[in-house]
C-alpha cells in the first residue's frame, strides 16, 4: 500500500484455537487488514468454487504470497494475469521446503537471502524473479536471521512488483540439478547427540531456537540448552557428554571428534532460563559428570 498498489483482498488462514484455554486466535495479518479497512478472506480451502469465483470477480493483476504454508491449486494460480509472486527465505534453488532458515544455519552457511519467484504447481520450484543476499553472523539464532530476512523480503517484494509492472524483471527457471529440499522440523530433532562435533551442536542450538529447541538429560531430568558455543580444545579421550570443566564461561562438555562444546545458558523443566554459571553454582556441577 505504501508503494502505491491497490490491495483488493487479503487472504489468510482461518482463526485457530490457541493458548491454555484454546480461545480462537486470528493470524496477526487480520488485525492489520481490519485496521487498514481492507477486504479479508479466511477460506478453509482456496480451491472451492466460492473463493475462486470471488477472486475472478476481483480480477487481480498479481497476487503476493508470504508464509502461507499451503499448496495453491492450479485453478487459483491461473487467476492473476501476472501470476502469484512468492517470497521465500533462501537463495533458491537451495533450501526449498518448510525450514529454509533453520537449514541454512544447520549447514553452517555464511550467507543466505530471500528470493521472489512465480509459483507453479511444485514446492518452491517456480522461476526466480529477484534475489538478495545477507550474511549470517556465526552467533545468530533463527529469530534474528528471520527478522532480517523479513525486512529484506518486504523491500524485495515491492521491487519485484515494480519490475513486473515495467517489464524489467524477467522470470528465470531454477536449476533443478542444484536444488536441495528441507524437511519439516520435529520435536525429536532437538535431542542432543554428543557424538556430533561442537560446531554441529552450536549450529543446532542456533537453528532450533525457539522450536524444537535443544535438550539433553542431566541427573535424570530434562535440561534445555539455550546457549552452546565451540570451546577451546582440551586433550583427552573422555566419552562424548562428559563434563570436562566448569567456569564463569559455562560448562565445558566433550563432544564428537575430540571437540569441546561450552554450554552457556540452560533451563530445567518448569524453571526459568539462567546463565550456565548460575546453574553450576546452584547444582554444584562437577567435572566427570555425564550429560546424556
CATH number of the domain at 187-283, please?
3.10.25.10
**Is residue 266 predicted with pLDDT exceeding 80?**
yes
Residue 184: closest CA among 97, 256, 68: 97
d(CA 52, CA 185): 32
pLDDT in tens, 127-186: 999 999 999 999 999 999 999 999 999 999 999 999 999 999 999 999 999 999 999 999
Q: Architecture of 43-178 per CATH? A: 3-Layer(aba) Sandwich (3.40)
Could you give the residue range(s) of every CATH 3.10.25.10 domain in the chain? 187-283
Residues 6 or more apart in contact with residue 279 via CB below 8 angstroms: 251, 266, 285
Could you give the residue range(s) of every CATH 3.40.50.170 domain in the chain? 43-178
Going from the C-alpha of 209 to that of each of 61, 86, 157, 258, 260, the distances in angstroms are 38, 25, 27, 26, 21
120-132 mean pLDDT:
96
**Is residue 24 predicted with pLDDT exceeding 90?**
no
Chain Cα centroid distance, residue 75: 29
C-alpha cell at 226: 539455550
In angstroms, the first-to-last Cα distance of the chain is 52
Residues 6 or more apart in contact with residue 219 via CB below 8 angstroms: 283, 289
SS3 content of the chain, % helix, strand, coil (to 5): 30, 25, 45
Q: Is the pTM of this model over 0.85?
A: yes
Q: State percent of the chain over pLDDT 90.
A: 93
**Is residue 204 predicted with pLDDT exceeding 90?**
yes
**Is residue 22 predicted with pLDDT exceeding 80?**
no
Helices and strands, counts by H and E, the chain? 7, 14
* Confidence grade of residue 69 (pLDDT, cut at 50, 70, 90): confident
42, burial (CB in 10 Å: exposed 0-12, middle 13-18, buried 19+):
middle
Amino acid at each position: 500500500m505504501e508503494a502505491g498498489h491497490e490491495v483488493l483482498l487479503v487472504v489468510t488462514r482461518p482463526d485457530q484455537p490457541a493458548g491454555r484455554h484454546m480461545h480462537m486466535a486470528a493470524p496477526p495479518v487480520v488485525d492489520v487488514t481490519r485496521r487498514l479497512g481492507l477486504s479479508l478472506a479466511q477460506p478453509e480451502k482456496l480451491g472451492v468454487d466460492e473463493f475462486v469465483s470471488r477472486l475472478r470477480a476481483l480480477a487481480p493483476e498479481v497476487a503476493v504470497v508470504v508464509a502461507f504454508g499451503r499448496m495453491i491449486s492450479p485453478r487459483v494460480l491461473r487467476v492473476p494475469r501476472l501470476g502469484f509472486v512468492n517470497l521465500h527465505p533462501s537463495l533458491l534453488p537451495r533450501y526449498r521446503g518448510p525450514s529454509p532458515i533453520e537449514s541454512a544455519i544447520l549447514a553452517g552457511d555464511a550467507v543466505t537471502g530471500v528470493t521472489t519467484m512465480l509459483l507453479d504447481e511444485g514446492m518452491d520450484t517456480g522461476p526466480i524473479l529477484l534475489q538478495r543476499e545477507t550474511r549470517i553472523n556465526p552467533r545468530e539464532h533463527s529469530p534474528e536471521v528471520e527478522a532480517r530476512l523479513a525486512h529484506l523480503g518486504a523491500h524485495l517484494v515491492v521491487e519485484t512488483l515494480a519490475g513486473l509492472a515495467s517489464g524489467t524483471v524477467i522470470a528465470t527457471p531454477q536449476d533443478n540439478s542444484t536444488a536441495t529440499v528441507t524437511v519439516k522440523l520435529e520435536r525429536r530433532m532437538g535431542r542432543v547427540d554428543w557424538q556430533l562435533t561442537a560446531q554441529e551442536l552450536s549450529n543446532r542450538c542456533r537453528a532450533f531456537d525457539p522450536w524444537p529447541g535443544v535438550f539433553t538429560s542431566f541427573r535424570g531430568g530434562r535440561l534445555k540448552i539455550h546457549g552452546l558455543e565451540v570451546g577451546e580444545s582440551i586433550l583427552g579421550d573422555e566419552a562424548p557428554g562428559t563434563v570436562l570443566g566448569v567456569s564463569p564461561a559455562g560448562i565445558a562438555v566433550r563432544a564428537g571428534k575430540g571437540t569441546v562444546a561450552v554450554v552457556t545458558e540452560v533451563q530445567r523443566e518448569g524453571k526459568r532460563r539462567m546463565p550456565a554459571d548460575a546453574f553450576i553454582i546452584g547444582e554444584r556441577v562437577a567435572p566427570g559428570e555425564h550429560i546424556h
